Amino acid sequence: MSLAPAQTAGRGSLAPLVKVGLSATPMRQWLFLAAMLVLEPGCPPTCDRSTCTGCCDISGECLPGTSRNFCGAGGVVCGVCTSSMRCRAGSCIETPDAGPPDAGPMVQTCMAGCRDSSRECQPGNLPEACGADAGTCAQCMPDQRCEFGRCTSAACTGCIEPLGACRAGNENLACGADAGFCLACTTGQTCRSGTCVGSACSAQTCPAGCCRGEVCVPPSQSSCGLSGIMCATCLSTQMCMNGTCR
């Protein structure tokens, strides 16, 4: 057996060893070939838990695992997050809705958001990814919050709107406290001290009368109404009939 020159071309520093191997006996040529295989640069290491802290793509390459299209950690196979999710700490998580149901989901376009280190578009209203106008996301300090794409140290004793604005937190459509997300109270609830609670006087508790504040009263000229609505005062020329001034 002999080794053709074309098989050994381009081996750089191993060229002198090849010349020695070509002049050896067949048995020594086999031993020489085995030694060359050991000395040659081997295949790249397998992508797994022992070699990759991110995730492994289909070609076996280790990726950071922080983007929506290549998400994973600990040497697992990279996953693809859906459009409603984002990659965080190697896992696809649902993008939280920062506002009441009628406020819609958080802004997803980078015209109003920011881009993280992987160039992924983030809403831009989170303390860990705060920004606007498709700029680079910033991480706010522990004592800061993100308001309209900027980290601010102003304390918010009420609640935070979807874009980060601080509200008083005592409104039925924006109820909350301690810088939590604002919530919209449901029908029959009122916002008290930042919490949606059932009203003492409502359509459920006062079906045959009207509400004077939190008190249910029967219909009259001075308190006209039914089904727990706010009482109305009829004019001197009117009569309260079936809960309506006529």
218 and 235 share a domain? yes
Segment 93-101 shows an average pLDDT of 51
pLDDT band at 119, cuts 50/70/90?
A: confident
78 and 33 share a domain? no
210 and 186 share a domain? no
122 and 192 share a domain? yes
110 and 90 share a domain? no
When the pLDDT of each residue in the chain is averaged and rounded to a whole number, the result is 75
118 and 34 share a domain? no
Provide, rounded to the nearest whole percent, the portion of the chain with pLDDT above 90. 10
Enumerate residues 6+ apart whose C-beta is below 8 A from 188: 198, 199, 202, 203, 204
pLDDT band at 95, cuts 50/70/90?
A: low
Q: Is the pTM of this model over 0.75?
A: no
Segment 205-218 shows an average pLDDT of 86
pLDDT band at 34, cuts 50/70/90?
A: low
Per-residue pLDDT reduced to its tens digit, 198-210: 777 878 888 899 9
Boundaries of domain holding 216:
204-246
* pLDDT of amino acid 123: 83
105 and 191 share a domain? yes
- Total number of domains constituting the chain: 4
Per-residue pLDDT reduced to its tens digit, 43-58: 556 888 889 999 998 8
105 and 189 share a domain? yes
